[in-house]
């Protein structure tokens, strides 16, 4: 009987520690939450997605390359995101120096740039966007998603990135 109580006590202690790791801000808990978000188990807030976009997209070039991108420069950001994912994969063939994007990360990041710089997906034929996305199924599904299914983009679409010329293309009409 005594032993059972002891085990119950131990179980409760483990539970309390596990809850503490997740609920009280601390490095381990933050790592666990960041991991859960990158796997798509938990959503990114618009602010977290913005921080992620600026940090992960400026490892090879400055933010300026992104801020100056425009509808005359090339295809919409969903396609740019796919190309950058490919660059990283090529880059990592020899040794993994840059973390590959997970689908959830890239979808969150694409929404941020769409909102802050411009979304001209509607200027393009879906067929052409899909062709450019090759077999990137996560981004193809994202390209088919209307604004209602893009909470980060919807939340940020009335903002703009400092240093960019924001393009308004009436996405969602
Ligand atoms: C692995 C390194 C790497 C990372 C990480 C990276 N880029 Fe790039 N990016 C490049 C290279 C190399 C070029 C130049 C090649 C080109 O213009 O085709 C480039 C060019 C660009 C351009 C200009 C394209 C054009 O046609 O003018 C944009 C916009 C861009 N990147 C956006 C992003 C975004 C958004 C992210 C984050 C999702 C990102 N980059 C992350 C390597 C990277």
More confident residue, 169 or 42: 42
Which atom belonging to ligand 1 lies closest to the Cα atom of 59?
5
- Which one, of 133, 117, 114, lies nearest residue 125 by Cα? 133
Q: Concatenated DSSP letters for 61-127?
A: S-HHHHHT--TTTSS-HHHHHHHHHHHHHHHTTTS--SPPPPHHHHHHHHHHHHHHT---GGGS-HH
Instruction: Dump pLDDT digits (tens) for 38-82.
Output: 999 999 999 999 999 999 999 999 999 999 999 999 999 999 999
Instruction: Dump pLDDT digits (tens) for 11-27.
Output: 999 988 888 877 877 88
Q: How far is the CA of 127 from the centre of ligand 1 (A)?
A: 23
> pTM of the entire structure?
0.87
Q: Atom 29, ligand 1: which residue's CA is nearest? A: 66
Sketch the domain layout of the chain as residue ranges: 1-42, 44-173
* Contact status, residue 50 vs residue 112, Cβ threshold 8 Å: yes
Q: How far is the CA of 106 from the centre of ligand 1 (A)?
A: 13
- Which one, of 48, 66, 50, lies nearest residue 58 by Cα? 66
In Å, what is the CA distance from 120 to each residue of 50, 127, 129, 147?
19, 14, 11, 13
Residue of 80, 81, 106, 113 with the most ligand 1 atoms within 8 Å of its CB, for mutation? 80
Average pLDDT over residues 94-109: 93
In Å, what is the CA distance from 13 to each residue of 17, 81, 90?
6, 44, 46
Q: How far is the CA of 45 from the centre of ligand 1 (A)?
A: 24
Residue of 61, 78, 99, 161 with the most ligand 1 atoms within 8 Å of its CB, for mutation? 61
Q: How far is the CA of 61 from the centre of ligand 1 (A)?
A: 7
């Amino acid at each position: 009987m005594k032993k059972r109580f002891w085990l119950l006590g131990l179980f409760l202690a483990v539970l309390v520690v596990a809850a503490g790791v997740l609920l009280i801000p601390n490095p381990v808990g933050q790592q666990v939450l960041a991991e859960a978000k990158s796997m798509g188990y938990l959503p990114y807030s618009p602010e977290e997605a913005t921080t992620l976009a600026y940090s992960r997209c400026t490892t090879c070039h400055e933010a300026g390359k992104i801020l100056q991108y425009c509808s005359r420069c090339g295809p919409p950001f969903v396609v740019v995101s796919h190309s950058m994912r490919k660059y990283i994969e090529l880059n990592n063939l020899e040794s993994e120096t840059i973390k590959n994007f997970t689908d959830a990360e890239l979808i969150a990041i694409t929404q941020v740039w769409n909102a802050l710089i411009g979304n001209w997906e509607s200027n393009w034929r879906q067929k052409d966007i899909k062709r450019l996305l090759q077999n990137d199924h996560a981004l193809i599904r994202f390209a088919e998603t209307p604004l209602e299914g893009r909470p980060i983009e919807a939340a940020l679409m009335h903002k703009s990135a400092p240093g960019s010329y924001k393009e308004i293309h009436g996405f969602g009409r």
